Amino acid sequence: MAQAQPIPINRHPYADGGKKKMLIDGQWIDATSGKTFETHNPATGELLATVAEGDKPDIDKAVAAARRAFEGPWSKFTPFERQNLLLRFADLVERHFDELSTLDTLDMGAPLSRTRGGRLRVLGMLRFYAGQATSIHGETIENSLPGEIFSYTLKEPVGVVGAIIPWNSPLTASIWKIGPALATGCTVVLKPAEEAPLTPLRLGELALEAGVPPGVINVVPGYGETAGAALAAHPDVDKVAFTGSHLTGQAIVRASAGNLKRVSLELGGKSPDIVFADADIDAAVPGAAMAVFANSGQICSAGTRLFVEQRIYDEFVSKVAEFGKGLKVGNGLDPEVQIGPLVSQEQLTRVTSYFEVGQKEGASAVVGGSRLTEGKLDKGYFVPPTVFANVRDEMRIAQEEIFGPVISAISFDDPEELAKRANATNFGLGSGVWTRDVSKAHKFAKAIRAGSVWVNCYQAMDPAVPFGGYKMSGYGRESGIQHVEEYLNVKAVWIKTA
């Protein structure tokens, strides 16, 4: 693959400080109110674009367009035609991948080394969903009724989907909603995060170019409390697919009650990552470190509660700290940078406030623990990889999602107690265990209440393998055949033949 070159933002055609409209019914239009908001590069503070600010009237228009599209020619697309459309879309995304990944980097800060590295996964997802389009099938079911009566099921698209996504991985999050919708024949109103609307808008453009009919994918940028809330409450939306914080997830469930729309929630976590003394330490150190430091900790399944067996605790924690210190922090457009800025001032305030919370609670930052401001870093929202040692289970830094590059290292010596301690959280998204003992790994995999268990690895993902939460990490699954089912209704048909 070609070496990524830094791109000056003022020359970037999609982040040139210009104005972005919203996509409704295949048309690029301004907000009904005429209002706009700005999106900035969190590494430099530079203005990237001024974006049409959607609100309730725009959501109403977009939902109406999505409903018309759902009932229009789109409903006549055969599975094979939807598959071909998704494959054409995937080809376009592939052709524009450098641009899309650069937009993610510009808009939310993740380094190119990460956004470009997602290439196979993003393309794999689109092509996986393309395959799913021709794999949807109901069943014929034997029944026990007297007389000749035949029963079977039909799988039908659930309808208009409101997709509300966060800023931590805009490209992946968008495709995780658009992919299953196109595979099943649903239509979408996508509400990007206000912090990072540029990649979803560009994807909308590529979808039109691929031949997605007008109204099938609408993209309405705007704020959560206005545009997001209007979408979640809309009486003509059949399903909301949400990724974000658990607090917003709760608001969405409440808002969904009006028409009892279907909801799927991919929320946050405080995932345990467990290192036994018998682990391959050379593999576990970078594995456990990047389970948290990747994307500056802005990953829902980050393994932020690092449980280390007592007799290797000091050695292991200092090696993780050393590894963290060696990571290059800076502007993500620099291809050597491994850790970019946090996405916003709000997130910076949040993460640095947890630095104080940790100190006050009696934990000690063995590396990091305060904002970085040297040189050009003072223009962005940079914090270093941080490791807190001497953390106890009940501390806030061991219980609350920080969403920054912050490890809370906790020691354990009783393996019997371990699963109970690992499960002592409201969340249940990811989990990891590092050991050479296969029976310990199996035992943990069964005992942990979380949607993913990674053994001797962390954050492995594949379009065919389901991902999602237990407990307050949400419900529903993304990826895997389960994901497509979330976008389908089941209809039972009875035919009396006698």
Closer CB to ligand NAI, 178 or 251, in the complex? 251
Residue 266 annotated to the active site? yes
Candidates 6-14, 165-173, 208-216, 320-328: pick the segment binding ligand NAI (CB under 6 A). Answer: 165-173
Q: What is the DSSP letter of 14?
A: T
Q: What is the full DSSP assignment across 443-471?
A: HHHHH--SS--EESSS----TTS-EE-SG
- Rounded-to-integer distance, Cα 258 and Cα 255, Å: 7
Question: How many beta carbons lie within 10 A of that of residue 384, not counting itself?
Answer: 22
- CA dihedral 49→42→195→11, nearest 10 degrees, is 20
Three-state secondary structure call for residue 277: coil
Q: How far is the CB of 346 from ligand NAI (least distance, A)?
A: 7
Closer CB to ligand NAI, 224 or 332, in the complex? 224
- Rounded-to-integer distance, Cα 131 and Cα 154, Å: 19
Q: Residues in the chain, how many?
A: 498
Asked whether the beta carbons of 227 and 191 are under 8 A apart, the reply is yes
Q: Which residues contact 452 (CB under 8 A, 6 or more apart)?
A: 301, 429, 430, 431, 467
- Opening angle at CA 106, ends 101 and 112, nearest 5: 45
Question: Which of 65, 108, 251, 455 touches ligand NAI (CB under 6 A)?
Answer: 251
Q: How far is the CB of 165 from ligand NAI (least distance, A)?
A: 6
- Name the H helices within 257-344: 281-293, 313-325
Asked whether the beta carbons of 270 and 425 are under 8 A apart, the reply is yes
Residue 170 in the binding site for ligand NAI (CB under 6 A) = no
Q: How far is the CB of 279 from ligand NAI (least distance, A)?
A: 27
**Active-site residue, selected from the candidate residues 186, 195, 300, 400:** 300
Q: How far is the CB of 268 from ligand NAI (least distance, A)?
A: 4
Three-state secondary structure call for residue 144: coil
- Rounded-to-integer distance, Cα 380 and Cα 401, Å: 22
Question: Which of 201, 252, 279, 422 touches ligand NAI (CB under 6 A)?
Answer: 252
Closer CB to ligand NAI, 403 or 434, in the complex? 403
Question: Which of 54, 166, 368, 432 touches ligand NAI (CB under 6 A)?
Answer: 166
Q: Footprint of ligand NAI on residues 401-440 (CB under 6 A)?
A: 401, 403
Q: How far is the CB of 245 from ligand NAI (least distance, A)?
A: 3
Q: Footprint of ligand NAI on residues 184-243 (CB under 6 A)?
A: 191, 193-194, 223-225, 228-229, 232, 243
Quickly tell me which residue has 């940790």 as its tokens.
Answer: 358
Residue 469 in the binding site for ligand NAI (CB under 6 A) = no
Distance of CA 472 to the CA centre of its chain: 16
Closer CB to ligand NAI, 166 or 204, in the complex? 166
Q: Which residues contact 8 (CB under 8 A, 6 or more apart)?
A: none
Q: How far is the CB of 47 from ligand NAI (least distance, A)?
A: 20
Residue 110 in the binding site for ligand NAI (CB under 6 A) = no
Closer CB to ligand NAI, 185 or 380, in the complex? 380
Asked whether the beta carbons of 174 and 202 are under 8 A apart, the reply is no
Residue 452 in the binding site for ligand NAI (CB under 6 A) = no
Question: Which of 206, 216, 291, 300 touches ligand NAI (CB under 6 A)?
Answer: 300
**Active-site residue, selected from the candidate residues 194, 195, 266, 485:** 266
Binding mask 332-371 for ligand NAI (x = CB under 6 A): ---------------x--x---------------------
Residue 81 annotated to the active site? no
Residue 22 in the binding site for ligand NAI (CB under 6 A) = no
Q: How far is the CB of 359 from ligand NAI (least distance, A)?
A: 20
Residue 101 in the binding site for ligand NAI (CB under 6 A) = no
Contacts within 8 Å (CB) and 24+ apart, 421-426:
421/272, 421/307, 421/393, 422/272, 422/274, 422/305, 422/307, 422/447, 422/448, 423/447, 423/448, 423/449, 424/393, 425/270, 425/272, 425/305, 425/399, 425/471, 426/246, 426/270, 426/399, 426/471, 426/472
Which stretch of DSSP H or E encloses residue 398? helix 396-399
Residue 321 in the binding site for ligand NAI (CB under 6 A) = no
Q: Footprint of ligand NAI on residues 257-286 (CB under 6 A)?
A: 267-268
Q: How far is the CB of 433 from ligand NAI (least distance, A)?
A: 22
Question: Which of 33, 84, 153, 245 touches ligand NAI (CB under 6 A)?
Answer: 245
Residue 168 in the binding site for ligand NAI (CB under 6 A) = yes
Report how many residues bind ligand NAI under the rule CB under 6 A.
26
Residue 379 in the binding site for ligand NAI (CB under 6 A) = no
Closer CB to ligand NAI, 127 or 191, in the complex? 191
Question: How many beta carbons lie within 10 A of that of residue 67, not counting itself?
Answer: 18
By beta carbon distance, the residue nearest ligand NAI is: 224
Residue 244 in the binding site for ligand NAI (CB under 6 A) = yes
Catalytic residues: 266, 300
The residues binding ligand NAI (CB under 6 A) are 164-166, 168, 191, 193-194, 223-225, 228-229, 232, 243-245, 248, 251-252, 267-268, 300, 347, 350, 401, 403
